[in-house]
């Protein structure tokens, strides 16, 4: 396929967009439609093309009508006597599209199509067809097996769970899968094929000053273009030129002889080609200025000549979504069984029971009650020997919305732990049902009472009673009080509980944990269950979709007078950071003046914290305020997606804000956004739909979306939710992406298995010398089968080719990771430095902390660049691909400081000789210009990493995890400790300085009194202040990761490190002085770092 290239660079987009047929959606259900029960006459067309007409009562479920219809058919046609309900489908057609009525629990008259037929006066026609008309073909069966492999699940088990009309069907899972079909189809309709296959990486912000300074006087830059034959030429291009103009100018400059030299056919024209970065799959094309491309901007900032290759654009057909990938019909897009409170209420209405569809929750004036029945005694003994067996047990229930407790907890009476655990007792919460918010969750904790001994556990401890008893949480579980249909849960239930973890110092917040049941995945014994019963009613009790009157606006207090005590206090509250807890007085003041904050959009989180979630009036008033709320910043939107805010409308408002993000910005926050999916009350959410849509429209976003979800698929707390989203994505990502994911998963699985076997083999041959071990490893590596080419999981722009077994090795560190070298399989590799891609494959280490740290470094680099500071950070690729397994990219042409010291001065002298590092740089940069450039790069990168490691609290810094490239770029690796957590030696803290600035680093920059070192300190202060101005963003991003299980990030206390290190209670001038004093302290104690480095090298003298 050829790309057209008109003078207007946006012409292609206009043409593609014009091909999309815009069809009128099914009209929305009008207000009042559910106020009466309707009877509708519907024609059902049977598989034998006969028609049966049925009068359908609106308050019946689809399943009931389907059952009645089948009885009627059996009476008339003998052929249907042995046909079962699950063998038949209900479908209808609108605008040539077939929709399936798949939700058997839905009230018939709430179907969107029923509203349309009623509004138009048409008789409805529903097709009743055999399921086997679209039975699973061999192709579908093979594709589903491929899906299971890619998702990391056994498809047979997953398929049975989500298949409709089976005994094990999870209703929410099934309905969510079908609803996401519509989301997927809409995303695909708006996907531009060329943009999808050649998505450029862009930055549309104005180039910062340090980039503009490298423009030529006529606002041009020089680029080097390589042809298919790898012949090249340089061109001067305008900084505002789009790639199409550059291509036209290039082809106009070609003579027939030059075309032959470049390997370009004589008849070829500019539209037949696109530009791509040499050595990687990063396209420079589309209606954008050349300086909008991240690669071009990076090259100009570093004074490097961009190297671009002419290539034929990829075939859009390779990204086609085959019918076998997405065989389902559309589903009716109605989302609930009721409308607003006025249509549901029985107050003031004369309805008999046959006219009632459902009860409104807001009519319920009784308190919420629960009857606790029993549990299995055999499963309540703690599995962790640290705790032992309690003397007594009781169950405590709580109601929460987000982190806000809705009522005081209720609990059963304690019983002896060796007794039969039966309570059969009713407990009542001090909250009316009408005040229960939609997102309320019921939390249960099985708590052990220890009387005779001290339980030495850091987590799970409740308050110690007056007689010294310790109350320890043993197991826990959660459940949404209203299901995904907004229907109140009733009747008997069983909590399949999760065991409490005692290995980490975490806050006791079991209510923020998963609502998924524990099916025994985390336990070697059977799962302990709590059996309980909720009140039942004659009809479903549903949460209305609005209709409750808000408070009178006249009851609102006028805005506070400027300068008054209330105004001053409000300003103080607004200026406080995310971690500051509000007092009751603060909340009362925020509630009193809530309308005042409409002019302060980013104060919304504070206003929401003042909302009483246990008050219907308060919540409704808040929703009314949200409808008028002005646009939010991205930082605030991210904060609103944390576990503290579960309200559906709040989270939808946050997602609406994120929709404006470019793919580049979205990628910067994607790690957190996939994590906070865990905080959504239900599988189907605005955030899930947003991420799925953007993943399906961008290969780059989709690639990381896939890996961020798949890497946690073994986590039973989220495996179900992530599986649903992975399936929805993989069914629409296209054939090419499916092939690439298949190859990547095959590689990671093969290397994982090989790593396990090779580690065992090395242990068995531990008496052999290292040379023999390496030889054995290389022989084994040469035998494994890998795809010829595959995309690097940590960066889809990189294509890996042949595994160079002859250059690979097992590293000396504890987990024995694999050092692997691959050929760069890109067709346009020009430089020798990019011809080989080196990675480390690690098994046995959790790389999520490294991923988070590198993400923060990347974000810091972006923020500094926007402020005109290019501090040469190197956030190399790193990806966790599964439980305790992942891949790390090796930075080329770089050496550890330890190796430089060892090679230059030996183990001891090299550590303490200040000139070693500078002499090494001089050898690598023999000319004056190159050395000056290397020293400048070293100074800037050293400043960047001093600030970054200080702010992030990176610990365990030694000369084996600090590296320097031959061009002078210093960078840090291996981030096993952060947020102020440091490594200790026999309980003694080894590190005495907050960041590394040793005498040999200073020596590269001259002297402490020299001009360059003064620039270094000024740069550090500027960089520190930039991060400090964005403190809320970093605090929010860390807060969003609190649910990951990263050992050093599991409580608010860990995040308070950022609050303290950024001295947020000080002025900017005071903050500047603070960081300068930190530099002075480091310079005084830098000898302690050298001593630590020597001790490290003595212990690890065999490593390099």
The more confident residue out of 358 and 16 is 358
Task: Give the long-range contacts of residues 26-29, CB within 8 A, separation 24 or more.
Answer: 26/94, 26/112, 26/113, 26/115, 26/116, 26/333, 27/112, 27/115, 27/116, 27/119, 28/112, 28/115, 29/110, 29/112, 29/115, 29/334, 29/339
Q: Is the pLDDT of residue 889 over 70?
A: yes
Could you give the domains of the chain? 31-135 (3.10.20.90), 139-193+662-671+680-731 (1.25.40.70), 199-313 (3.10.20.770), 343-500+526-542 (2.60.40.150), 547-660 (1.25.40.70), 893-1104 (1.10.1070.11)
Q: Say which residue the tokens 């981030």 belong to.
A: 975
Lowest pLDDT segment from 369-383, 564-578, 918-932: 369-383
Q: Pseudo-torsion of CA 1068, 1070, 1072, 1078, nearest 10°?
A: -140
Could you report the per-residue pLDDT of 421-435, keeping only the tens digit for each? 889 999 999 999 999
**Residue range 722-754, pLDDT digits in tens:** 999 999 999 999 999 999 999 999 999 999 999
What average pLDDT score do residues 311-322 get?
A: 93
E strand or H helix at 127, and its extent? strand 124-130
Exposure b/e, 501-531, CB count within 10 A at least 16 = b: ebeeebeebbbbbbbbbbeeeebeeebbbbb
- The token duo for 1103 is 């490593």
Given a cut of 90, is residue 493 above it in pLDDT?
yes
Higher pLDDT, 1055 or 102: 1055
Indicate if the pLDDT at residue 554 is higher than 60. Answer: no
pLDDT: is 1021 or 1084 the higher one? 1021
What pLDDT score does 558 carry?
A: 81
For residue 377, the model assigns a pLDDT of: 54
For residue 389, the model assigns a pLDDT of 80
The two tokens of residue 364 are: 């319920």
The Cα-based distances of 280 to 450, 483, 495, 905 in angstroms read 61, 47, 51, 39
Strands 790-792 and 367-375: unpaired
- Nearest alpha-carbon partner for 83 in 99, 98, 67: 67
Average pLDDT of span 1056-1069: 94
Instruction: Give the chain's mean pLDDT.
Output: 86
Closest CA to 654 of 1040, 339, 202: 1040
Position with higher pLDDT, 88 vs 749: 749
Q: Would you say residue 169 has pLDDT above 60?
A: no
**Above 90 in pLDDT, residue 235?**
yes
| Dihedrals phi, psi of 370, to nearest 5 degrees | -145, 135
Q: What is the pTM of this model?
A: 0.92
Q: Are strands 541-542 and 359-360 parallel, antiparallel or unpaired?
A: parallel
pLDDT of 523 strictly over 60: no
Average pLDDT over residues 537-560: 80
Q: How far apart are CA 1022 and CA 421, in angstroms?
A: 63
Please list the residues that pair with 778 across neighbouring strands: none
Binning pLDDT at 50, 70 and 90, where does residue 524 land? very low
Query: How far apart (Å, rounded) are the C-alpha atoms in residues 150 and 145?
Result: 9
pLDDT band at residue 302 under the 50/70/90 scheme: very high
Model confidence at 766: pLDDT above 80: no
The pLDDT of residue 131 is above 70: no
pLDDT (tens digit per residue) in 246-264: 999 999 999 999 999 999 9
- Condensed to tens digits (0 to 9), the pLDDT of residues 136-149 reads 678 888 898 999 99
Residues 6+ apart with CB under 8 A from 681: 438, 439, 441, 480, 515, 646, 648
The pLDDT value recorded for residue 1091 is 66
Tell how strand 39-45 and strand 124-130 pair up: parallel
Segment 1018-1036 shows an average pLDDT of 97
Return the pLDDT at 168. Answer: 41
**Segment 210-217 mean pLDDT:** 94
For residue 849, the number of C-alpha atoms closer than 13 Å in the C-beta half-sphere is: 21
- Give yes or no for residue 909 having a pLDDT over 80: no
Which residues are registered as beta bridge partners of 88? 130
Q: Taking Cα atoms as reference points, which of 821, 817, 804, 820 lies closest to residue 762?
A: 817
Percent of residues, the chain, with pLDDT higher than 70: 85
Is residue 1053 within 8 A of residue 1035, CB to CB? The reply is no
CA pair distance 401, 396, nearest whole angstrom: 17
The per-residue pLDDT for 58 is 80
pLDDT digits (tens, 9 = 90+) for 704-727: 999 999 999 999 999 999 999 999
Segment 789-817 shows an average pLDDT of: 93
Nearest Cα to 549, choosing from 649, 486, 624?
Answer: 624
Which pair of tokens denotes residue 351?
């309805």
| Amino acid 649: pLDDT | 96
pLDDT reading at 18 higher than 50: no
> With helix as H, strand as E and coil as C, how does 488-523 read?
ECCEEEEEECEECCCCCCCCCCHHHCCCCCCCCCCC
Q: Which residues contact 934 (CB under 8 A, 6 or more apart)?
A: 921, 924, 925, 966, 967, 968
Going 600 to 604 to 605 to 608, the CA torsion angle's sign is positive
pLDDT digits (tens, 9 = 90+) for 27-39: 454 444 445 667 8
Give pLDDT, residue 905: 66
At residue 532, the pLDDT reads: 95
In whole angstroms, what is the distance from residue 403 CA to residue 295 CA?
43
Better-scored residue on pLDDT, 98 or 634: 634
CA distance 939 to 968: 9
């Amino acid at each position: 396929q050829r790309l057209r290239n008109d003078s207007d660079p946006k012409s292609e987009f206009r043409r593609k967009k014009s091909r999309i047929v815009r069809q009128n959606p099914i009209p929305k259900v009008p207000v009042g439609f559910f106020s009466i029960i309707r009877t509708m006459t519907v024609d059902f067309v049977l598989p034998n093309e006969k028609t049966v007409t049925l009068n359908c009562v609106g308050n019946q479920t689809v399943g009931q009508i389907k059952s009645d219809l089948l009885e009627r058919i059996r009476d008339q046609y003998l052929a249907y006597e042995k046909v079962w309900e699950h063998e038949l489908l209900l479908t209808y057609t609108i605008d040539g599209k077939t929709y399936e009525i798949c939700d058997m629990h839905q009230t018939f008259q709430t179907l969107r199509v029923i509203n349309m037929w009623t509004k138009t006066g048409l008789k409805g026609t529903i097709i009743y067809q055999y399921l086997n008309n679209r039975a699973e073909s061999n192709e579908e069966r093979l594709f589903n097996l491929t899906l299971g492999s890619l998702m990391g699940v056994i498809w047979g088990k997953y398929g049975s769970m989500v298949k409709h009309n089976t005994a094990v069907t999870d209703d929410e899972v099934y309905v969510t899968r079908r609803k996401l079909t519509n989301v997927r189809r809409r995303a695909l309709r708006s996907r531009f094929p060329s943009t999808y296959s050649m998505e450029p990486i862009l930055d549309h912000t104005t180039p910062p000053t340090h980039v503009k300074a490298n423009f030529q006087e006529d606002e041009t830059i020089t680029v080097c273009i390589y042809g298919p034959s790898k012949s090249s030429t340089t061109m001067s291009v305008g900084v505002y030129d789009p790639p199409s103009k550059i291509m036209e100018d290039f082809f106009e400059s070609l003579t027939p002889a030059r075309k032959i030299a470049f390997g370009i056919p004589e008849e070829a024209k500019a539209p037949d080609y696109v530009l791509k970065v040499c050595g990687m799959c990063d396209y420079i094309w589309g209606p954008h200025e050349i300086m909008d491309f991240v690669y071009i901007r990076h090259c100009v900032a570093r004074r490097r000549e961009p190297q671009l290759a002419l290539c034929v654009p990829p075939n859009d057909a390779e990204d086609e979504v085959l019918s076998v990938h997405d065989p389902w019909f559309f589903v009716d897009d109605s989302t609930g069984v009721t409308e607003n409170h006025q249509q549901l209420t029985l107050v003031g209405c004369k309805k008999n029971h046959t006219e009632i569809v459902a009860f409104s929750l807001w009519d319920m004036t009784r308190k919420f009650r629960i009857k606790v029945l029993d549990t299995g005694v055999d499963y309540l003994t703690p599995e962790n020997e640290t705790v032992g067996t309690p003397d007594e047990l009781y169950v405590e229930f709580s109601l929460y919305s987000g982190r806000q407790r809705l009522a005081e907890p209720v609990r059963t009476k304690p019983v002896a732990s060796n007794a039969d655990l039966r309570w059969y007792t009713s407990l009542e919460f001090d909250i009316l049902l009408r005040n229960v918010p939609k997102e309320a969750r019921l939390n249960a904790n099985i708590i052990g009472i220890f009387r005779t001994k001290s339980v030495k556990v850091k987590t799970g401890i409740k308050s110690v009673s007056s007689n010294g008893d310790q109350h320890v949480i043993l197991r826990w579980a959660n459940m949404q009080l209203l299901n995904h249909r907004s229907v109140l849960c009733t009747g008997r239930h069983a909590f399949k509980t999760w065991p409490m973890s005692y290995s980490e110092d975490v806050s006791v917040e079991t209510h923020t944990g998963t609502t998924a049941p524990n099916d025994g995945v985390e336990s070697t014994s059977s799962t302990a269950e709590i059996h309980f019963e909720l009140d039942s009613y004659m009809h479903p009790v549903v949460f209305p979709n609005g209709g409750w009157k808000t408070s009178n606006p006249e009851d609102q207090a006028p805005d506070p007078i400027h300068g008054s005590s209330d105004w001053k206090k409000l300003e103080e509250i607004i200026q406080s950071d995310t971690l500051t807890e509000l007092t009751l007085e603060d909340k009362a003041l925020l509630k009193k003046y809530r309308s005042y904050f409409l002019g302060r959009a980013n104060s919304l989180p504070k206003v929401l914290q003042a909302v009483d979630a246990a008050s219907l009036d308060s919540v409704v008033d808040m929703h009314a305020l949200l409808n008028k709320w002005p646009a939010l910043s991205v930082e605030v939107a991210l904060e609103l997606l944390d576990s503290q805010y579960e309200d559906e409308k709040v989270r939808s408002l946050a997602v609406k804000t994120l929709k404006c993000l470019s793919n580049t910005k979205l990628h910067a926050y994607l790690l957190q956004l996939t994590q906070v999916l865990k905080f959504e009350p239900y599988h189907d959410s605005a955030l899930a739909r947003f991420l799925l849509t953007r993943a399906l429209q961008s290969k780059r976003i989709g690639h990381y979306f896939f890996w961020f979800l798949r890497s946690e698929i073994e986590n039973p707390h989220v495996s179900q939710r992530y599986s649903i989203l992975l399936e929805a994505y993989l069914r629409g990502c296209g054939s090419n992406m499916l092939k690439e994911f298949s190859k990547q998963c095959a590689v990671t699985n093969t290397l994982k298995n090989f790593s396990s076997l090779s580690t065992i083999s090395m242990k068995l041959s531990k008496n052999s010398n290292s040379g023999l071990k390496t030889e054995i490893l290389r022989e084994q590596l040469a035998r494994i089968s890998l795809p010829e080419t595959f995309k690097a999981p940590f960066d889809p722009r990189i294509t890996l080719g042949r595994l160079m077994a002859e250059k690979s090795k097992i590293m000396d560190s504890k987990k024995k990771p694999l050092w692997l070298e691959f050929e760069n399989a890109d067709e346009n590799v020009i430089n020798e430095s990019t011809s080989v891609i080196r990675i480390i494959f690690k098994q046995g280490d959790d790389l999520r902390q490294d991923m988070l740290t590198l993400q923060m470094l990347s974000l810091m680099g972006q923020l500094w660049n926007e402020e005109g500071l290019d501090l040469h950070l190197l956030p190399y690729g790193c990806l966790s691909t599964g439980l305790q397994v992942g891949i790390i990219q090796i930075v080329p042409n770089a050496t550890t400081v330890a190796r430089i010291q060892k090679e230059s001065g030996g183990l001891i002298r090299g550590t303490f000789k200040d000139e070693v590092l500078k002499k090494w740089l001089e050898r690598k940069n023999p000319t004056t210009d190159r050395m000056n450039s290397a020293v400048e790069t070293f100074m800037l990168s050293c400043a960047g990493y001093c600030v970054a490691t200080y702010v992030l609290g990176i610990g365990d810094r030694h000369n084996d995890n600090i590296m320097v490239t031959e061009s002078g770029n210093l960078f840090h690796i291996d981030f096993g400790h952060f947020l102020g957590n440091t490594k200790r030696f026999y309980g003694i803290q080894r590190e005495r300085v907050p960041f590394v600035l040793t005498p040999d680093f200073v020596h590269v920059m001259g002297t402490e009194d020299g001009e360059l070192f003064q620039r270094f300190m000024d740069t550090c202060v500027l960089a520190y202040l930039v991060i400090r101005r964005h403190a809320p963003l970093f605090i929010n991003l860390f807060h969003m990761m609190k649910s990951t299980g990263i050992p050093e990030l599991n409580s608010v206390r860990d995040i308070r490190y950022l609050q303290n290190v950024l001295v947020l209670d000080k002025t900017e001038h005071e903050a500047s002085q603070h960081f300068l004093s930190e530099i002075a302290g480091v310079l005084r104690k830098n000898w302690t770092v050298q001593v630590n480095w020597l001790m490290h090298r003595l212990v690890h003298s065999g490593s390099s």
